[in-house]
Amino acid sequence: MYGLVDGNNFYVSCERVFQPRLENRPVVVLSNNDGAVVSRSAEAKQLGIPMGAPFFEVRELLRRHQGHALSSNYALYGDMSRRVMARLADHVPSVEVYSIDEAFLDLHGLTTFCGSLDTRARAIRRDVLACTGIPTCIGMAPTKTLAKVANRLAKKHPELGGVLRLDTASRRERALRALPVGDVWGVGRRYADKLAAHGIRTAWELSQVSEAWARKHMGGVVGWRLVQELLGQPCQGLLPSEDGTLARQSISCSRSFGQRLFLFEDIWGALTTYLSRAAEKLRAQGDQAHILTVFLSQDRYDTRVPPPYTRSATLTLPGGPTSNTLQLLSYARRLLAKLYEPGRQYVKAGVVLDGLEPPGRGQQLSLFGAADDIIIPPADTGRTHQLMHTLDTLNRRFGRGTVRAAATAVAGAQPAPWQGKAQHRSPAYTTRFDDMLIVR
């Protein structure tokens, strides 16, 4: 048996731990730059506020109902997530951290030592709530896909007490008949529309298709494995790594600007900030990148802007894979120069690092060499590795951004022109000494 634990309205729940005044009130958490709703309390959902709604459209509704809107506080959410995952690891043999608010649990063999799985799951929920303040729901089933289904239904039906186990054929059938096919883990909207065209609208109907049909219409063996998982036949296990997380297959960092930017150096300062953060994540998981992508976006809602609204440029690094921030910045500036057009106003930029692998493997050399407009920076050496290690150590000790590329520096005490809006951000209660709560 597998379990899936999901934090209820996770971002909102993290805020409520330190602000009890938000209990029983409509609360939403906003995306980067205070643009759209990314998390809603149950009370906000009851008001009809949809996920992804632009803040300006729901601001007045929240005001009328004494609601609150908060800017995203990822330092707080990340730390609270680590606390939740640590509590889960104390209860089960193995944990796969699937996202900031979700984790799969290995429940195999627990009934021998702990009795009823329902009783065990309720004990886990109580412990997580008591130690972190985060309410959760737990779905249990023979496969990870069915555990996802069970969790979704446990959240939708409060009378279940936050726990649902799909361990019999009759329970599985009732659950799958009640679940739209688009809500099945791994289907998505595109496949949901395709399945609907074939008359398949529920998860149960999907579970009844033949192997030949699944292979033909759902991506070969991947589609058939999904059907098997819905039938209770496990096709994938937990994938924990040493630190309880999964190494990313690609790393990205992007942000909307706090204001429209039109100067190259301002945009370059923003991109330098994002790429430095992505490279830091890359080194933290012990990998190097073969491929760098840079993208630049204009406002798609501006009728004066012709499509395409986003342009990107990708480069297979001619000097070989690297995690060196300075090397990556050298490549990125040339890619940005290809995308940037004077006179245009830009609202967002970002980077993606792909082709990740640990250092030390045989290096794949370029067949044709570097492009004429790409200058290959000096190769990684022991000294550059030490420089990056020192950079990361200083930033961990004294705070992120203590040592950074000069392009991110802004003259005077003015905020960076690309800095996003966060007018409603709560303090970083658990990761910053100045923001710690003081009990008097």
Residue type, 411: A
205 and 319 together in one domain: no
Q: Is residue 334 part of a domain?
A: yes
Q: How many domains does the chain have?
A: 3
CATH number at residue 263: 3.30.1490.100
Final residue in a domain of this structure, among 219, 243, 267: 243
268 and 290 together in one domain: yes
Ranges 56-60, 309-313, 401-405: which has the least confidence: 401-405
Q: Is residue 432 part of a domain?
A: no
Backbone angles phi, psi at 350, to 5 degrees: -170, 170
Q: Is residue 149 part of a domain?
A: no
Q: In the predicted model, is pLDDT for residue 361 greater than 80? A: no
218 and 236 together in one domain: yes
Q: Is residue 227 part of a domain?
A: yes
Calculate mean pLDDT across residues 189-215: 91
286 and 223 together in one domain: no
Q: Is residue 84 part of a domain?
A: yes
Q: Please tell me which of 75-79, 133-137, 322-326 the model is most confident about, judged by mean pLDDT.
A: 133-137
Q: In the predicted model, is pLDDT for residue 422 greater than 80? A: no
CATH number at residue 127: 3.40.1170.60
Q: In the predicted model, is pLDDT for residue 369 greater than 70? A: no
239 and 301 together in one domain: no
Calculate mean pLDDT across residues 350-374: 67
Range of the domain at 185: 168-243
232 and 338 together in one domain: no
Ranges 58-62, 150-154, 401-405: which has the least confidence: 401-405
| The pLDDT of residue 373 | 53
Residues above pLDDT 90, as percent of the chain: 59
| Cβ-proximal residues to 38 (8 Å cutoff; 6+ apart), any chain | 11, 29, 30, 31, 51, 52, 72
| The pLDDT of residue 238 | 83
Confidence of residue 17 (pLDDT cuts 50, 70, 90): very high
CATH number at residue 231: 1.10.150.20
Model confidence over 327-359: pLDDT tens digits?
999 999 999 999 999 989 999 999 999 988 888
Q: In the predicted model, is pLDDT for residue 410 greater than 70? A: no
**Average pLDDT value for the chain:** 87
343 and 403 together in one domain: yes
| The pLDDT of residue 242 | 43
| The pLDDT of residue 245 | 54
40 and 139 together in one domain: yes
| The pLDDT of residue 360 | 67
Model confidence over 265-291: pLDDT tens digits?
999 999 999 999 999 999 988 899 999
Q: In the predicted model, is pLDDT for residue 315 greater than 70? A: yes
C-alpha distances in angstroms, 58 versus 35, 112, 284? 11, 51, 39
